[in-house]
Amino acid sequence: MNLNWASSLRRAPAKTPGTIFRIFLVLKDSRTPLKAKLLSLVMAVYLLSPLDLITDIIPVLGILDDLLVIPMMFWLFLKCLPPGLWEEYEERSAHVLPRTKKIILTAVMIFIAFWSLSLGAIFYFSAQW
């Protein structure tokens, strides 16, 4: 398990879809402890929540807390896993992920279309009011 922060941060954007998929696979494994499952739930809620520890209105600190909190939670998640479990799914997901890229792209397009239509409906009906 490579926990070198500087090199990991540079490669993080390219590895994000694979990492999310790998987290999903690890969470389905029966060997994953409850502590890791709960931490992943907290991480997902924090990512999707509009609330932050430091509000994004404060120019640099608002973004900086996201850049620090999420990697720290992910690091703790990796520390909670049994030795070798993350690496096992790293090998498995390398074979599965190329086949699922089409599905992921379709899901992203549906998500963008849904929110675009929702915003369009909001603007349309607010203009009618």
C-alpha angle 115/45/51, rounded to 5°? 80
Cβ atoms 36, 81 nearer than 8 A: yes
**Beta-carbon-side half-sphere exposure of residue 23 (alpha carbons within 13 Å):** 20
Length of the chain: 129
Tell whether the model's pLDDT for residue 87 goes beyond 80. yes
pLDDT band at 25 (very low <50, low <70, confident <90, very high): confident
DSSP single-letter state for residue 109: H
Query: Can you tell me the distance from the alpha carbon of 122 to that of 11, in angstroms, rounded to the nearest whole number?
Result: 38
pLDDT tier at 20, thresholds 50, 70, 90: confident
pLDDT at 22: 84
